[in-house]
Amino acid sequence: MSGLVEWYNNIMYNKNDPRTEDWFLVSAPGPLAIILVSYIYFCTSAGPRYMKNRKPYELRNVLIVYNFAQVLLSIYLFYEGLMSGWLFDYSYTCQPVDYSDNPQALRMARAAHLYFLCKLVELLDTVFFVLRKKNRQISTLHVYHHSLMPFCGWIGVRFLPNGHVTLLGLINSFVHVIMYTYYLLSSVGPSMSKYLWWKKYLTSLQLIQFCIIFVHSLQVFFNGCNLPKVMMMILLANTGIFIYMFGSFYVENYIKNQRASEKGVEERAKNVGNNVAKNKTE
């Protein structure tokens, strides 16, 4: 046990970035763990029980404001990620972490911290599903994704607040600009339905981003890049899980459903043809 405690203290207080250790919710994993456990408990147990005999909340105006704010935050984070390194200075093959007080390095670190806090705010996505009794939306993929991303963001801010791994935040922020734009239009009401035909492409975009991050992270094991390999292995493992889960979701909800729909159309057409032929013979 003492060895385990020593290992934990070594990781937490000797391997971390001293510049970010006192930032909001970064100093220790305890507050984040409490938030995530509370989130999972509410969304999978307490929330549905509370709403069981209640009418769903509409929350239309709340959702419009929330989604609009998320679009603006995502645009800002994408811009900061580009201007802090990825547009001009960062290498896409190997970008070690800069632990100095370089203004550019600190700018990326602050962007990473804001990204982490945004992942916590995004837990409200599921809370709104619960309050609107959209329980079908609260899938294992949804809860796992929303639970893990804040944890990954916390690891990034505490240990790797700039450099190679921040490409995930850059691409994810771009995806969220599109995703929350879709949610914003959807929250306006049924009048926007005709403009929302591209829903399935959001899942494709999510899948593509994780494939890019997987390849981007994998290359550091072969090019001698000076990055902590344990952290990169954790990132690779989680990215692989996301690829599998988003891929399974896409196949189940779009490919199989489309095939089932096409099969149903064929069977109805066949039945109509049989009925016509039967009427003619009679």
Report the alpha-carbon distance of residue 104 to residue 111 in Å, rounded: 11
Cite the DSSP H helix spans in the chain: 2-14, 30-41, 47-51, 60-81, 103-121, 124-131, 140-159, 167-188, 199-218, 229-250, 256-281
Nearest in space to 70 (alpha carbons), one of 59, 80, 78, 81: 78
Report the alpha-carbon distance of residue 172 to residue 169 in Å, rounded: 5
For every residue of 227-245, which 3-state class applies, written as one string?
CCHHHHHHHHHHHHHHHHH
Is 145 catalytic? The answer is yes
180: exposed, middle or buried (Cβ count in 10 Å: 0-12, 13-18, 19+): buried
Local structure of 87: helix, strand or coil: coil
The catalytically annotated residue of 145, 146, 164, 216 is 145
Q: Which two tokens stand for residue 203?
A: 């899942």
Q: CB atoms < 10 A from the CB of 101, how many?
A: 8
Catalytic residues: 145
